[in-house]
Structure 1
Amino acid sequence: MKNLKFNRRGLIALLLPMGNLLYSQGGSGAGTIDAKISGWTTTLKTSLNAGVAAFAVVGAFLIFVQYMQGNEQAQKNFVRFVIGLAIFGLVDVITHVFI
């Protein structure tokens, strides 16, 4: 690969859009920070809801398949599944209350 050489005008033309992006991202005050935090909390809440739902559906299906196959460990796994779902759901509820 050839060595790339920039003259001063080319370097300024390259860095100008980056400086403009950084200036527009950081200089507008607390409103954008609050908006970003609000967006992050919404994303976190949605992700936790999706995680709990996926855990519940997949876990219930696996326990059902174990029962249908006559697995001896199915009852113990069901108790573990319910405890795990309760903990995961409790974390979700706490997140929704405090965030």
Structure 2
Amino acid sequence: MRNLKFKKKKLIALLFLVSNLLYSQAGGGGTIETKITGWTATLKTSLNAGVAAFAIVGAFLIFIQYMQGNEQAQKNFIRFVIGLGVFGLVDVITHVFI
């Protein structure tokens, strides 16, 4: 019974690959330009979401450290600002050149 499940997984994976290949060959995949445009939009959105998540989570953690009276909070805040600056700069460069 175990071998039967393993064969079904392989068959499903093979059917998925074949159907994906047929879809792209039949013109459903789009041109290279449209694919690249889609990828760049996804990259830009992902970077924006990453910067926002880094800023929100980092600021919350630094705030908690300050409230607890942690002695390392000031050093961590400086590291956080530098990291956010670098991450934001990569995001800006990506938006300008892509």
What TM-score do the two structures reach when normalised by structure 2?
0.75
- Indicate the residue corresponding to 2:65 in structure 1: 66
Secondary structure in structure 1 of the residue aligned to 2:31:
helix
Aligned alpha-carbon RMSD (Å): 2.4
Correspondent of 1:21 among 10, 23, 30 = 23
1:75 maps to amino acid: Q
- Indicate the residue corresponding to 2:94 in structure 1: 95
Deviation digits for residues 6-41 of structure 1 (CA, Å, limit 9, x no counterpart): xxxxxxxx8xx7474342148x8xx61000000000
2:37 maps to amino acid: S
Alignment of 1:20-99 (within 5 A): 20-25=22-27, 32-99=31-98
Report how far residue 42 of structure 1 moved. Answer: 0.1
- Indicate the residue corresponding to 1:8 in structure 2: none
What TM-score do the two structures reach when normalised by structure 1?
0.74
Stretches of structure 1 lacking an aligned partner (at least 5 in a row): 3-13
Secondary structure in structure 2 of the residue aligned to 1:37:
helix
- Indicate the percent of aligned positions where both proteins have the same amino acid: 75
1:76 maps to amino acid: K
1:21 maps to amino acid: Y
Q: Which runs of 4+ in 1 moved over 6 A?
A: none
Aligned counterparts of 1:48 and 1:93: Cα–Cα separation in 2: 9
